[in-house]
Structure 1
Amino acid sequence: MAELLRNSSSVITTSNRFACQALFYGRATTCDSANCCRKYNCCLFDGLAIKSNRRRWALRTRRMSLLYGFTKKNNLIIVSNMVASIEPELVSEDEEEYKLIEKTKEDHDFDSLPPWGNIVVKQDCDFELKSGSQPVAVSKKLKMVVDSEIRVHFLEERNEEILSRRVLMLSRSNKVRSALEIYESMKFSGLRPNVHACNSLLSCLLRNELLDDALRVFVFMRTNEITSGHSYSLILKAIANVQGFDSALNMFVEFGGYSTAKKDFDVLVYNTMISVCGRVNNWIEAEKIWRSMQENGYIGTRVTYSQLVCIFVRCNQNEMALDAYNEMIQNGLKPGDDIMQAVIGLCTKEGKWDLALNLFQCMLDGSLKPNQICCNALINSLGKAGKVKLAFKVYDTMKSLGHTPDTYTWNALLNALYKANQHADALRLFESLKGDQNSQLNIQLYNTALMSCQKLGLWEKALQLLWQMEASGLLVSTPSYNLVISACEVARKPKVALQVYEHMVHQKCTPDTFTHLAIIRGCIWGSLWAEVDEILENVAPDASLYNAVIQGMCLRGKFKSAKKLYMRMREIHFKPDGKTRALMLQNFHKDST
């Protein structure tokens, strides 16, 4: 018998005058003797007869029905019946004999056939999730594999480790059909694959988009308690890819993900779910999974904290991101450059430039290379804090790391000089940029230079920059014109400011309240009262404009005009500010005296 049946052979048996065929190493032998089949109820293989006992047949039939004739269920997935049937290789010549065969099929449950023979397992791909999610749509590739027949072989080899190793190797080689056939044959023979073989088969099925078959294997693993954290991770990730975040989260909860009961989870399962939460930026569930992992006594890995920090930073949960980073350091884990850069970014947002600078130095000491975004964020944070020297040191370090400064870098450095009241240095830096890297100049850099011109009252320089902006094709906005007008106001050049204002209107750039205030203040100090009245008549009524004109008139000794304008302001129900009321009361008292 050992020479007769091999693992590599596919045996096809029939009974009651069924045609018999055996394949041994590619050679077929057929029994044509109907009398032989009637007499012995057997099939001949190279002159050897395998006799079948009717009683033993019934017992094995019953065993088969117990193996495959029920519906497997657990608290998550309901897998449909797996129907085993005989596929006849040869057809009887007599029609009456064919009817007898059909009658035999009806009388006998072919789910209950013995483990030898050409048994075909037809798998139904319908399954149901208790969470109420919709069944997985069957892809074309899945339908092709499901429609094809998975054969169950007679296994002469009974060693579970050897058979498990074969399933493992076939799965790693992406031999889906062969791996499934050995797996089903082991189940059929009452053998159990080990967890490594099942996990490899799961990975192979999911790699080939066969989620239904993978879920059936997973149900078998849970029923026989041979699951591991890797098993749960594979299934959860596949469900998230196919059915979405909600289905994966529901499955995780049904597995007891948030409970403290003992389960087959490990850190890999929690990392998988945190990654799934990160895809949809659901920081609330990510935090819950993190806290559940802590309650169950698991210590996170670098992957865990890297994902948590990135999710929290993206969702503007800076405090929780810092908590995750601090816990990582307390657990003795060395953060990577992605975590360090993310923490530096959130520190700069929170204005914690000193902590950001320390982390930046730690990256350099640890032979990590901060990226350009990290360097720019730190320069900008130092500039806002007025730490000009430190900002330029980081700039020098950025160049030594091989990063090319961009417009964000130059704007951060110009703003740093402006915040430190080093306006002349800011203009010199801008001129050097204009001479060396003219292509990188944009509207933000010009506006920063105009702000320095405004502070210094350099109206001629401001006009020069304005003409350069228009000549370079940049779209000059209202704030840029306002800065030039303000520079003229500081330099007491109201007529020049009026010319810029007229040019602004001619360029179809709409003035705003700040434009009119700068023009009015300049005209008041230049005693251009007619222009002031014209502006008040032509622009929409605004309380801030009336306050500015009244205050200017009072300070310039034009009390009667200020009184008339104040009464007009009260008639149109504008509320004067505190300075306007104080000046009017003071001048009323002088007038009565």
Structure 2
Amino acid sequence: MLLHKAHQFRRAYSTASSLCWRTNIKQAQLASQISYALLQRRNWVPLLRNLSLFPKLSPSLFLQILHKTQNNPQVSLEFFNWAKVNLRFEPDLKSNCQIIRVSLGSGLVRPVKPILDSLIQTHPVSELVQCITLACKGTDSQSTTLSFVLGCYSRKGLFREGLEVFRKMNVLGCVPSVVACNALLNAIQRENEIRLAWCFYGLMIRNGVLPDRFTWSLVAQILCKDGKFERILRLLDLNIYNSMVYNLLVDGYSKSGNFDAAFSHLNEMCDRKVDPDFSTYSSILDGACKLGNVEVVERVTSVMVEKKLLPNCPLSEYDSVVEKLCDLGKTHAAEMFFKKACDEKIGLQDGTYGLMLKALTNEVRTKEAISVYRLISERGIVVDGSSYHAFADVLCKEERSEEGFELLMDVISRGCSPSASELSSFISFLCRRGRWREAEYLLNVVLDKGLLPDLICCSPLVGRYCSGRQIDSAIALHNKMEKLNGSLDVTTYNVLLSGLFAARRIEEAMRVFDYMRRHNLMSSASFTIMIRGLCGVKELRKAMKIHDEMLKMRLKPDAATYKRLISGFQVTLSNLETRNEGDEAK
């Protein structure tokens, strides 16, 4: 019997092995056919269509094809993209990493960037780096490929993930390219992580990455942000300079009002054949406008006209001049031209008003932004939504007066609203200052527009409604939030439940508790309030059911509270028995 079973097992195993072997042979033959067509035929699409590859093209088959065609990366990449579109091929992480490695080895950087971008969105950095590392095993492309990954993370502003890639490269003994390191350093300093930027710069040097011109430009920017402006001069002494370094110096001196030093470095740029551009002169112009230095304004404007950076007669080109200055963040200079145009009654484009509003808002020049907004309203000008959104955000943060509130309501009436976090912060501020009517009105406007603020700003209003016996208002607010699938915090819900039971609104209390249950927002106190409230209205069955649910969820209160809760059941039962006996006696 045992020998018979062993024989059957051997036959089954032999059959399975044979089938697997045949499948592998067929797949290898198909890979050879496809590879031959790709490499030998220019128009290989009709041939591949005749092979009826869908749904045969699996990741393992693709990797065999890639192995045979990798000496012609352009063809490999074209087939990869064609298969995804026409064969609905779904490459796995390994296939994606291999095609990235092969393509980068041939300098096909731009075509594979979308592939890596999608992987960055769908995979953790550790998993992606590990797979890239395995794909590069046995080749000399590890540093190049990982540098590309580092650069992609950095250019997306994901500097923390970029630092993890850099750390992994350091462990593997790979030296990243200076281009990738510059991208990461730039991402860090853009987020104003100055201390971290200096630490990473030190790591670059220790790991043997040689700084280039762009690295020194970034160092100069970090020095400016770190308040070490004068140290930039040392770079010039070391003969390290470019237009960005000089622009930083000119801008810094102009902001501080040291126009002699600004013009001196401007002349030095010319001597060193570093051409000052519109941005360089705009820095001096902006500083002079800010400080009201008319002489410097006239001087630099004259030079800019001479160098054809400004038109001889700017009347017809105010729009383009204001746009350039706004894009550079030179709001004082932009404001000068904007006011001139308005004073001289020169018709500006609607978009110019929007640019001016947004630029002033970004620089948190709130009073000036309000003036431009009033001008927009008076003249019936329509600007883009992003300008309104930016203005609304700054009103929430910086202008919380009654005037600011009225302006915010006006912006919202135009169909534009600030971010939910800024609105929530403003509503909370109104509540803290006791400006309840404004807070209530703003919150209702926000909810009616389908926007969901942070729950923390709703709690004070619900508490005020319940303490003032305005239960209808509290329920109305909750109903609006429920429509948007929003919720309050547990503490506020407990206050609402207590208020509903105090007002004998039992059905609404049950409905609110059900909503809390669906959103997993129940606490021991919530159950205690419900049980006491239901016992108070003689709803013992419902109270017992909620009591059992409380125990099941392990939300039993402390011993003293629980003892009082149970005694509530006993008192209610005793009262019911007494009432029943009285009814029988009658």
So what's the TM-score if we normalise by structure 2? 0.44
So what's the TM-score if we normalise by structure 1? 0.44
Greater RCO structure (CA 8 Å; 6+ sep): 1
